[in-house]
Amino acid sequence: MHQLRPNIILHTNKDYYIKKILVCFLFPLLMISQTPCLDAVANASGLIGEFIPQCEDDGSYSPTQCWGSTGYCWCVDVNGVEIPGTSLGPGEGIPDCNEQQGTLSVLFIGNSYTSSNNLTNIISNIANLMGDELYVEKSLIGGATLQNHLNNNSTTELIESGIWNHVVLQEQSQYPSFPLWQVEQDVFPYATQLNYLANQYNACNNTIFFMTWGRENGDYNNCENWPPVCTYEGMDDLIRERYLTMAEQNSASISPVGAVWRYIRDFNYEIDLYNSDGSHPSYLGSYAAAVCFYTTLFQKNPLEINWTYDLGVSEFNHEIIIQVVKDVVYDNLDEWSIQSNDIDSDGVCNNLDNCPESFNPDQEDLNNNNVGDLCEESSTILEELPKKRLAKVVDIFGRRTFNGCLQIRVYDDGSVKKVYTIN
């Protein structure tokens, strides 16, 4: 009995192999979608002076982009969006975009509590002192509520620019302490809508709520009609409770400035946190807020912040404040839902990472279940794979085949695998 063997034909014509390579490998590549950067290059009109982006070997946007016809160069993020403040014109050189890629971009939305003493500038000074890159923009309107900001074109346009790692939301100082029915009507819905807008336009955004503080002697204007706010403690308790609720409802973080102030007050440190109006912060109050925000944004121990004259506070007060922030914030990051946008430092932000707590820049997902292989035990993957059955094999045109050089194998669990073969 003769054993059946496959009919093997040896081709010696090298043209045959060249054609097979072209058909089996190059043509399918043209059928598969490219990266956004490569798509932009492919779709260029070819007109003289047109800007065409520069792409890396892997198809991603090059960190530095230059427009030859204008002489301008600038830095971009992973989505090709320009990083504000990096553009240099003719004769000004080329920006150092390797540094810019590590820059944290933060948008502050609030009112006079944030603008007082230029809080964002103090935060930036601390970040520079610590060797951290921080880019800040702000939309600050005196007395504004979150509802006012949602209806303000300048605020929404900033949110929609799509470059933010964090959007910070600060409500009007009294609103969170009002009766719950009123807060549910006038605060919570607008916090949710702004958070949704921030997440919709900023793929790697993590919203941070700026927890403010009770007024020095309570809210005497509303005390008669709402007794809980008659004292600092009563007003502060309500503000804390409502900000915690907003953070929980929106899966967001909190920068607990009010809790830092409360600690300083409870332990009777001789630090005057208030301006003369008993509401707005003094410079020391803003400095405490800045250390709190720095710790929130970078998750670094505030005790590492070395005192200098440039910080604008005495060394004695500086030491008290950084210790308080360590005790209240840094030692309790989980309580305030504070975490890095990229906790595994693999260059893929948590919102997009299929295995956010394990370094996996290649995002490998062998069984196509949107959970990275590093987040699953190998035994689990091996157990699941045999359960898949091949449903059909098609070519690039959707025709059933088992002989094509590019086979698209469709399994009964809905997963798809591309296989290249040379017959």
Distance CA 314, CA 290 (A): 15
Per-residue pLDDT of the chain (423 residues; tens, 9 = 90+): 444 443 433 444 555 555 555 545 554 444 444 688 888 888 888 788 889 899 887 778 888 999 988 889 988 876 787 776 678 888 888 887 755 556 899 999 999 999 999 999 999 999 999 999 999 999 999 999 999 999 999 999 999 998 999 999 999 999 999 999 999 999 999 999 999 999 999 988 999 999 999 999 999 999 999 999 999 999 999 999 999 999 999 999 999 999 999 999 999 999 999 999 999 999 999 999 999 999 999 999 999 999 999 999 999 999 999 999 999 999 999 999 998 877 777 777 777 778 888 887 777 777 777 788 788 754 344 444 445 566 666 665 566 765 555 566 676 666 766 655 544
Written in H, E and C, the secondary structure of 236-287 is HHHHHHHHHHHHHHCCCEEECHHHHHHHHHHCCCCCCCECCCCCCECHHHHH
Residue extents of the structural domains in the chain = 103-336
Distance CA 344, CA 132 (A): 18
How far CA 65 is from CA of 91, 101, 102, 203, in Å, comes to 16, 13, 17, 21
For residue 83, give the amino acid letter: I
Q: Residues for the chain: how many in total?
A: 423
pTM over 0.75: no
Class of the CATH-defined domain 103-336: alpha beta
In sequence order, the 6+-apart residues with CB closer than 8 A to the CB of 250 are 191, 192, 195, 207, 209
Residue 278 confidence (pLDDT): 98
Residue 11 confidence (pLDDT): 43
Residue 14 confidence (pLDDT): 55
Rounded to 5 degrees, φ, ψ at 183 are -65, -40
In sequence order, the 6+-apart residues with CB closer than 8 A to the CB of 55 are 35, 37, 38, 41, 61, 62
Residue 32 confidence (pLDDT): 45
Q: Supply 71's token pair.
A: 């002489």
